[in-house]
Amino acid sequence: MGQHKAKSYTAPAGALSMRILLVVLGVLVSLAGAVWALQGAGFLLGSFMSNDPTWLWIGVITALIGVGILGLGIWSGRAAKHA
């Protein structure tokens, strides 16, 4: 009678490159935020940002945004595999 085949999901052509872009961007933004936070906390000296609490908070927020972008890149790849 009617045999039903499971539909397989194939990712769009640019999905893998977008995932890689998000992961790389997330890592870079996180690293930049970590450097700014360390400078603001006074652990990395030699900059106008050193020992300035404003840069500590800017760095922490930037690093968290980077982690979010990184997570989105990782999650979007996993979601595509399981869909």
- Residue 32 above 90 pLDDT? yes
32 occurs within a structural domain = yes
67 occurs within a structural domain = yes
Report the pLDDT averaged over residues 7-15.
Answer: 70
Residue-wise pLDDT for 39-59, tens only, equals 999 999 999 999 999 999 999
Report the pLDDT averaged over residues 60-73.
Answer: 97
54 occurs within a structural domain = yes
pLDDT at 10: 66
How far apart are the C-alpha atoms of 62 and 14, rounded to whole Å?
27
Single out the residue of 79, 83, 72, 80 nearest to residue 23, CA to CA. Answer: 72
7 occurs within a structural domain = no
Q: What is the pTM of this model?
A: 0.77
pLDDT at 82: 56
- Count: domains in the chain: 1
User: What confidence tier does 16 reach under pLDDT thresholds 50, 70, 90?
Assistant: confident
Check: CB of residue 59 under 8 Å from CB of residue 37.
yes
9 occurs within a structural domain = no
Parent domain of 67: 23-82
14 occurs within a structural domain = no
